Amino acid sequence: MPSGQKAYKTSLMAKSVNKIFKKMMPRGLFVRSLLILITPITLVMLITSFVFVDNHWNRMSDRLAESVVGEIIWLSDMVESSRWDYTDIQGYGKAHLEIDITYDKAAILPEHYKDHGSWQRIMRKSLERALDKRTARPYRINIAHHNKFIYIKIGLKQGVITFNVPLRRIFSSSAYIFLIWMAISSIFLISIAAIFMRNQIRPIRALAKATENYGRGIDTKNFKPCGAREVRQAARAFLDMKDRIGRQVSQRTVMLAGVSHDLRTPLTRLKLSLSMLPPSQDIDDMKKDIADMETMIDGYLNFARGADIKEESARINFSALITEIYARNKNRLKPVHLDLPEYVELNIKPQSMERALTNILNNADKYGEEIWVSAQIIDEPYNKHLELRIEDNGIGIAPEKLEDVFKPFYRVETSRNSSTGGIGLGLSIAQDIILNHGGKITLDKSPHGGLAACIHLPI
């Protein structure tokens, strides 16, 4: 395979591994940072426990087992050789070695016993190693955890001798306690770290919420920069940016309003002068032009005022709002087909939204014969939104002009003649308002033949 192709395949593989890793990683900053903290601690704990159990604990169990087994074998030898009296040996074992001895000449060795749990297995392994080293006699080991004894049965030439050894002679609980302490202290430390981390993440969350709200046109009243230096810096930059945007918008508004207002006076004067002149075709044309100019100025003023409306947003049932708008305009509009969900609550500035929707409805009414208004909830992960479509069966807009019609004063029909359309501000105003709600608006060709205005609003 050529090296270029190989490199391409490797990069593809790296990309897909990266994708899988990204999918597996939790999304939230808090869980991610906790994971960054917990993973190394857990790894260190696992390695320590493994090395500790494997080395220290196994070796200690071996030593303890060897010493006990040494005593047991010695006692078995004594009993078997009958050099001492059996009851003396029993007494000696009990008094000095904490081992109970019972010898049954008629007994035979039972089946092998089963272990319960890994601690028992480790102990049994140590005992077996020691016994195998010291004796060729058959034996059985029964670790009875419940009464803290180990029963070791050894088959003698005649019968079976049983030793009851206290568990603590073989089992050292220090390892156990060490591991428990390690686990408890890690959990404690991780909990404290989690609390601190939560406090660090709170300002980042607040900043995220404030910027998100601002995008949706909601003002977060009590937002203050706090937290670590970098977070405060970002929060301050956000507040500065917000102020700058606010200033720019109000400047634009003031300027537009001023120009429109100043134009009105000379226009009125012109109108007056024209009405004094004797009537003629030219005068009529001039009057019509002046009337068009007045309509335009009204439009500019309207546009300027729209951006300046300081309306509070509220959570309202959007379907009800559309039904209301429909009811108010029903008589003047062409037939409208409504298809809305029963109830969908959104953050809406009702007056502005009504203005935006009326503009789009007016367009559909102007260019189409029938209007379709439909909405549905789209539940995408991290992007739950409402999709509202306003469609008509008119002439539609050529695909290459779908973006342009959002520009202020843009009309597909360029004559600027008031009889063939408005002044070209309706869609700009609507887009402004919808962006202000954190949504977006796109235009498309409708299955009904005309234009489809598709509006997304965050839920």
By CB under 5 A, name the binding residues for Mg ion: 363, 422, 426
The torsion angles phi and psi of 317, rounded to 5 degrees, stand at: -75, 110
Chain position carrying tokens 């990266």: 18
State the Cα–Cα distance between residues 44 and 21, nearest whole angstrom.
22
Judged by CB under 6 A, the chain residues 333 through 372 that form the site for ligand ATP are: 359, 363-364, 367
- Output 126 or 363, the one with its CB closest to Mg ion: 363
Nearest approach, Cβ of residue 437 and ligand ATP (Å): 18
Question: Closer CB to ligand ATP, residue 203 or residue 396?
Answer: 396
Structure tokens at 279: 């009537």
Question: Given the structure tokens 């991780």, which residue do they identify?
Answer: 190
3-state DSSP helix/strand/coil % of the chain, to nearest 5: 60, 15, 25
Sign (positive or negative) of CA dihedral 75, 81, 86, 88: negative
User: Using CB under 6 A, which of 297, 375, 423, 433 touches ligand ATP?
Assistant: 423
Q: Which is nearer to ligand ATP, 16 or 420 (CB)?
A: 420
For the window 438-457, what string marks contact with ligand ATP as x by the rule CB under 6 A? ------------xx------
The residue nearest Mg ion at its CB is 426
450 binds, among ligand ATP, Mg ion, none (CB under 5 to 8 A by kind): ligand ATP
Residue nearest ligand ATP by beta-carbon distance:
422
The verdict on 301 binding ligand ATP (CB under 6 A) reads: no
Contact of residue 413 among ligand ATP, Mg ion, none (CB under 5-8 Å per partner type): ligand ATP
Place of tokens 């034996």: 139
Residue 236 vs residues 25, 222, 231, 254, 302: alpha-carbon distances, Å = 30, 14, 9, 27, 34
Smallest distance, Å, CB 363 to Mg ion?
4
Q: Which amino acid is at 288?
A: K
Choice from 71, 354, 392, 432 touching ligand ATP (CB under 6 A): 392
CB 434 within 8 A of CB 375: no
Q: Which is nearer to Mg ion, 76 or 359 (CB)?
A: 359
Q: Would you call 372 exposed, middle or buried from its count of C-beta atoms within 10 A (0-12, 13-18, 19+)?
A: buried
Under the binding rule (CB under 6 A), the answer on residue 203 touching ligand ATP is no
**Least distance from Mg ion to the Cβ atom of residue 412, Å:** 11
Stretch that binds ligand ATP, among 126-134, 221-229, 324-332, 407-415 (CB under 6 A): 407-415
- Please state, in angstroms and rounded to a whole number, the distance separating the CA atoms of residues 406 and 451: 14
φ, ψ at 160 (rounded to 5°): -130, 135
Q: 388 or 405, CB closer to Mg ion?
A: 405
Partner whose footprint covers residue 38, from Mg ion, ligand ATP, none (CB < 5 to 8 Å by kind): none
Name the one range near ligand ATP by CB under 6 A: 63-71, 72-80, 153-161, 406-414: 406-414
Gyration radius from the chain CA atoms? 44
Sign of CA dihedral 363, 366, 367, 372: positive
Helix orientation angle between 29-51 and 173-215, rounded to the nearest 10 degrees? 170
**Closer residue to Mg ion in complex, CB, 165/390:** 390
Task: Answer positive or negative: Cα dihedral of 258, 261, 262, 263.
Answer: positive
Q: How far is the CB of 403 from ligand ATP (least distance, A)?
A: 11
Residue ranges binding ligand ATP (CB under 6 A): 299, 359, 363-364, 367, 392, 394-397, 405, 410-413, 421-428, 450-451
